[in-house]
Amino acid sequence: MIKSKSTNKPTSSFAGIDSATPDGNKKKLGEGEHLIEIEDCQLIDGFYGLTYVIECQVVESSNPENPPGSDASITITGLGDRARHESAVGRVKSFLSAVLGLDVYSAIPCDGETWESLADGSVSPSQPFAGEKLRATGYKKPTKNIDAVTGQPYQFMVWSFSAV
């Protein structure tokens, strides 16, 4: 047990364990065509830098591992200061444009808005996209790096989004 700085009372390092899932996350949305309903969007600072997380409920899916009614998440890694590729912010922009029903190459229709301000707002406590539905298509793209355990190339999910 550790002591809380604000109350000086003992607190557990395992707060929230009672409701935690074994892997700590929702199941990742797998390959295929999906219709999803957004629950929330988050920006998490982790091992691979900033990660944009879209938590959703599956409405329709071509992948039997993500049946309708199941909870899932989509992660877009490689954002922020440690970003290695512009493609990560491009995938976030694709997501935002689909949710807003905009052409990804268009200008923002609201005065004073930028893609960056929309991205910042999407992870705000107000969760402006919660309840929105959109189509998400995912496929695995092999990389040149080899997994030391399986001997197979690492693969990462590539997402494209479109309005319903």
84-103 tens-digit pLDDT: 667 788 888 888 988 988 88
Instruction: Please state, in angstroms and rounded to a whole number, the distance separating the CA atoms of residues 108 and 86.
Output: 20
pLDDT: is 67 or 156 the higher one?
67
- What single-letter DSSP state applies at residue 81? G
Going from N- to C-terminal start, the domains of the chain cover 24-163
Burial 75-87 (b: 16+ CB within 10 A, else e): bbbbbeeeeeeee
- 8 A C-beta contact, residue 129 and residue 68: no
60-82 tens-digit pLDDT: 999 999 999 999 998 888 888 76
Q: pTM for the full model? A: 0.76
- 8 A C-beta contact, residue 92 and residue 74: no
Tokens matching residue 84: 């290695």
Please enumerate in sequence order all residues whose Cβ is within 8 A of that of 7, keeping only pairs 6 or more positions apart, or say none. Answer: none
